[in-house]
Every structure is written in structure tokens, then in C-alpha cells.
A and B are shown apart, each in its own frame.
Chain A
Amino acid sequence: MDIPVSLAIIALAALVHASFQLSVSVLTLLSAHTLGSKRSHAKLLRLSISFIFGTGLMTMLLLSFISLLLISLFGNETPQIVWAAVCGLLVGVAISIWLFYYQREEGTMIWIPRYFAKYLTKRTESTNLSAEAFGLGLSSVIGELLFIVAPLTISALVLIQLPTLWQIVGIIIYTKISLISLFTVWASISSGHKISRIQQWREKNKYFLQFTAGAGLIVLALFVYVNEILVSTVGQL
């Protein structure tokens, strides 16, 4: 797999990651609470940037950790069985997203343990300092680990095939793209858009986002399967 193709896979995986909504929900709630507590707009921007920074850092750490784990297990030459297993993981997670991602109720509640959702809501309500918002960002990524593990794993698998410098570039690309949705919400709130409108848009389009996340993972799985398994198998014949 050459470098542009590898980076394209990482970018697509990061886009799928960006379509997951837990961090966006937490950021929406955090902004609503900050404005509702009569805090200044500058304070809101500080808290939301700290939150996004925490989210980005945890994403980067998780991707680096999975890459390190895979490189220590398989080195730079990943066996085909591992590629096939990860493709299976992508398809499995994609089907789970289509079936379970959003709860079948009004709102944007997603399928995570309810005690964790309550914990995040409580922490969001009591967040006053940038450090707390940063911690909230870290926790919100962990809360969605069940779903983001798929794009993270495939990206890590692709990353470890790259030269060292490109591995760093790949990690940066993944992290930046995965934060696109958060930056969009942040920019909307900063430019004076009402939080209720943002939440309405999210609620209205939640099933579309759910579908695209699942479809993105399926496309990714098919591409990697053809590129890494079928091509080499057919080449050997």
C-alpha cells in the first residue's frame, strides 16, 4: 500500500470517527450550561477549546497506543489474517451502528451505558474551569470507545506500514479530521448560532449520520479487504 492510499484510508477512518456524536453532545450541553450560568462568551470559548483539546489528545493517545500494540505484536509486516480480522471488526461495528447507535427515543441519546451518560451530564453541569473541560474531553472519547475502536484499529494497522515520519503525519491527519465536527459546533456557537438550532439540526439528521458512519466503515472494510487480501491472493495465483 503506497503512502497516498494509506493516508486516504486514515482520512476516511477519521471522517467516520468525526461522525460519532458523543463528544458533540457533551460540547453542546457544556455550551448550554455555560451560557445559562451567565458566564461570558470568552469563558465559553476557553471551556470549549479546552474540551476539544482534551478530545484531540485522547484520540491521539489512543491511536498511538493501538499502533504501538500492533507494531509490538506483528512488526511492520502484518499477517493477512489480522487484516481479515480487522475487516470483520469494521463490518461488525458498522452493523452495530446501524442497529443500535441511537436509542429509539426523541433526542440524541446514544447507545452507551446509562450510568456513564449520567456521569458525563453531571460533570458537564459542574464544569467551571478549563482543566475540568479538558478532562471532560478525555472522558467523552473513552465513553465512545466501543464504536471508535474500529476506525482507530484500521488506521493503526495502516499507520504501522508507513515510514516513521509518515506515521506522525498520519496521526496528525487522523486527529485533525476526527475533530472536524467539534470544530464545526465550536465555530457555530462562537459565531452566535443558537444552541437550540444546533441541537435541532443534530436531532433531525441523526439517522443520516448513523447511516453514513456505518456505510463509511463498510466501504473502508471492502477497500482494505480487496487491497490487502484479494489483490495479494490473486497475485500469488
Chain B
Amino acid sequence: MNIIKSNGKRQAEHFERKKLHTSIVAVCLSVSTPDGQAETTAHTVCDAVVAWLQTHPEVTSHDIRTIAAKHLKIYNPEAAYLYEQHHITI
């Protein structure tokens, strides 16, 4: 599974579930979600993203963020909002 970096300048890289999981856990903790709930949410969102990736062999990192945010919104809307805002805050 190749992830093409959004700006196209860096090399494509393999999808790392752990990286996505860590970022989802971090954003959940940022909005004061309890540790256990953050882990469960991250696990569920990662499963949904991996399932989506089965039908899309080559995607951009932006696509991954969009799909992750879409699923995260179901379980934790505030965390999803902050996740979407990360690259558009500064």
C-alpha cells in the first residue's frame, strides 16, 4: 500500500497503521478523552481506514486524513474537528 505525500515532493511511503493509530490517540487525548476510550476509538478508526485502503491501492496522505476524520467524527466529533484543523491552524 503506497501513500503519496500530498505535496508530491517527498517519496511515496508504505501505509503504517501504527502511525495513524498514534495520531488518532493523540488527538483524542487533546480533547480530554479518557485513555481507554482514545485507544478503542483509534483502533476502530484504523480498522475502517484499512478496510477503505483495500479498494484503493495508491492514495495520498490527504486522502487518509479525510477518511480517518470521517470515521472519527462518528465516535468523537470534537477530536475529529481538531484532527481536521491540524494542518489549517497556522
Contacts and interface: CB of A to CB of B under 8 A. Distances in A.
A171 to B, nearest CB: 28
Interface residues of B, number: 19
A107 B85 CA distance: 6
Contacts of B87: 107, 121
Contacts of A200: 81
A199 interface: yes
B88 A108 contact: yes
B90 interface: yes
Nearest to A192: B32
Interface string B18-30: 0000000111011
Interface stretch (A27-35, A59-67, A175-183, A217-225): A27-35
Given A37-B26, A195-B30, A195-B31, A32 B90 contact: no
- Residue of B78, B82, B88, B89 contacting most chain A CB atoms (<10 Å): B89
Contact of A109 (B26, B32, B79, B88): B88
Q: Is the interface of A mostly helix, strand, loop or mixed?
A: helix
A196 B79 contact: yes
Contact of B89 (A38, A194, A199): A199
Interface string A176-205: 000000000000000010111101100100
B89 A28 contact: yes
A120 interface: yes
B32 A194 contact: yes
Contact of B29 (A22, A36, A109, A117): A36
A36 B85 contact: no
A124 B25 CA distance: 18
B81 A199 contact: yes
Interface of B: 25-27, 29-32, 35, 78-79, 81-82, 84-90
Given A35-B32, A107-B89, 5 more contacts: A36-B29, A108-B89, A196-B78, A196-B81, A199-B82
17 contacts: A22-B90, A25-B89, A25-B90, A32-B30, A33-B26, A33-B30, A36-B30, A37-B26, A106-B88, A107-B89, A109-B89, A121-B87, A121-B89, A124-B90, A194-B78, A199-B85, A203-B85
Interface of A: 22, 25-26, 28-29, 31-33, 35-38, 105-110, 112, 117, 120-121, 124, 192, 194-197, 199-200, 203
